[in-house]
Amino acid sequence: MIIDIISGARPNFVKIACLIKELKNNKFFNKFKIRVIHTGQHYNNNMSNIFFKELKIPRPDYNLNVGSGTYAFQIGSIMQKYEKIINKKIVLCIVVGDVNSTLACALIAKQNNIPVAHIEAGIRSNDLTMPEEINRILTDSISNYFFTTSVTANKNLIQLGISKKNIYFVGNTMIDTLKENLNSLKKPSFFNKFLLKEYNYILLTIHRPSNTKNLNSLRLLLENIVKFSKLNKIIFPCHPRLKKNMNVIKNISNNIIITNPLSYLEFNFLLLKCKVIITDSGGITEEATFLHKPCITLRENTERPETIEIGTNVLVGNSKNKLKKAFDELDRGLWKRGKIPAKWDGKTSKRISLILERILRN
Ligand code: UD1
């Protein structure tokens, strides 16, 4: 019997690392072949391989090598390629998060009568301009088992008519990985070169099409960040999507330090030691909440409301006023410390493994 675990993009690797370990540690799963499937959605060394190495994720059994392309190309190609390695022995397909690989593989599994377990199910931004939101809605609509990170996600699923008995509030596998690696975080080599001081620099990530498509708005956003951050250095690990616009970004200020995408251990070192993180990622708002780090989110909405309600996150969207207000609060030392959401305790993967054992025994 086979269990497939699907991953394709950077945040997926972080979510599957501890889960695979837990499944391998649980004797019940000895009788299953656990296949790690990498769709190849992310393929550069620093977007993919380094995560497998640092997080000690077993080498993928299959790499579908799909690469980059439009939404249709990526989803279509992953579906075709995954279909080719589907067989009758597969008893469960585990998908995580909301990337194109998640939806594509869930669809193929379901078409082949293979039950689908969705990890990080039920979260909603209600913003249908985000490809991830569409992926979430569609993946949840065909999944059999729903593992959630919050009570809000449970409520969202119940509202859709999903039976409570298939919804499991287990916590956050991303936090399992962060907790496990907290003592091994790595100072990037440029830290001393750029004379960075702990708690005295800003960490910035921007990758969403909504923030990167329009170069003038991106430039304005960066200019405002530079202005409000006063003399603090800004470390900006750039997603490959921004590569072609590097010239525009480079000339804005000497205080912006642009780097290649960082490894997991390096990025989270910088997150732990920064003064504030400014981001448009969803996962990073969760990591910031866990680390009690001030977090400014460059989005109008979030599918992770707990990071705002009880965590350290504030949404500023593209409002200059809100961004300024956030910096004022930070400078006055008024930032909320936040609390860690329930079950974000490093034991989520273990819970999932025990629940899956129960499901597969029946
Ligand atoms: C994907 C996810 C997003 C997640 C993000 C993390 C979807 C819809 N989006 O977005 O939810 O937050 O990953 O990074 O699945 N590229 C490379 N090398 C790589 C990977 C990408 O050069 O290894 C470039 C390609 O030019 C590509 C662009 O980056 O066109 C975007 O990659 P893509 O996989 O389409 O989506 P992400 O923006 O990374």
Q: Which two tokens stand for residue 104?
A: 């594509």
Give residues (CB < 6 A) around ligand 1. Answer: 9-11, 41-44, 47-48, 68, 99-100, 131-132, 207, 239-241, 281
CA–centroid distance, 89 to ligand 1, in Å, is 31
DSSP one-letter code for 125: -
User: Hey, is 56 helix, strand or coil?
Assistant: coil
Position 244 scores a pLDDT of 83
CA–centroid distance, 56 to ligand 1, in Å, is 22
User: Hey, is 174 helix, strand or coil?
Assistant: helix
Q: What is the spatial distance between Cα 29 and Cα 32, in angstroms, rounded to a whole number?
A: 5
pLDDT tens per residue, range 335-349: 999 999 999 999 999
> From the CB of residue 67, how many other CB atoms can be counted at a distance below 10 Å?
13
Low-confidence winner among 24-38, 84-98, 114-128, 226-240 (lowest mean pLDDT): 226-240
pLDDT at residue 88 tops 90: yes
Tell me the mean pLDDT in the region 20-37: 98
Low-confidence winner among 17-31, 105-119, 247-261 (lowest mean pLDDT): 247-261
User: Hey, is 349 helix, strand or coil?
Assistant: helix
Going by alpha carbons, the residue nearest to atom 19 of ligand 1 is 42
Active site residues: 207
pLDDT at residue 320 tops 90: yes
Q: Which residues contact 39 (CB under 8 A, 6 or more apart)?
A: 6, 7, 8, 63, 64, 66, 78, 81, 82, 101, 104, 105
Position 362 scores a pLDDT of 85
Provide the β-strand partners of residue 7: 38
Q: Longest Cα pair distance anywhere in the chain, in angstroms?
A: 61
Q: What is the spatial distance between Cα 300 and Cα 316, in angstroms, rounded to a whole number?
A: 7
Going by alpha carbons, the residue nearest to atom 28 of ligand 1 is 241
Inter-residue contact 85 to 62 (CB < 8 Å): yes
Position 322 scores a pLDDT of 98
Tell me the mean pLDDT in the region 84-95: 98
Position 251 scores a pLDDT of 87
Going by alpha carbons, the residue nearest to atom 6 of ligand 1 is 10
The model carries a pTM of: 0.97
CA–centroid distance, 91 to ligand 1, in Å, is 29
Please say whether the dihedral angle defined by the alpha carbons of residues 204, 209, 211 and 216, taken in this order, is positive or negative. positive
Which ligand 1 atom sits nearest the alpha carbon of residue 283?
12
Inter-residue contact 348 to 175 (CB < 8 Å): yes
Residue identified by tokens 């579906």 is 79
Which ligand 1 atom sits nearest the alpha carbon of residue 41?
34
Average of per-residue pLDDT values in the chain: 97
DSSP one-letter code for 31: G
Q: Choose between 161 and 246: higher pLDDT.
A: 161
Q: How far is CA 94 from CA 6, 81, 177, 261, 351, in A?
A: 6, 17, 18, 27, 15
Which DSSP helix (H) or strand (E) runs through 100? helix 100-111
Tell me the mean pLDDT in the region 97-126: 98
Going by alpha carbons, the residue nearest to atom 9 of ligand 1 is 99
pLDDT tens per residue, range 174-194: 999 999 999 999 999 999 999
CA–centroid distance, 26 to ligand 1, in Å, is 33
Radius of gyration of the chain (CA): 20
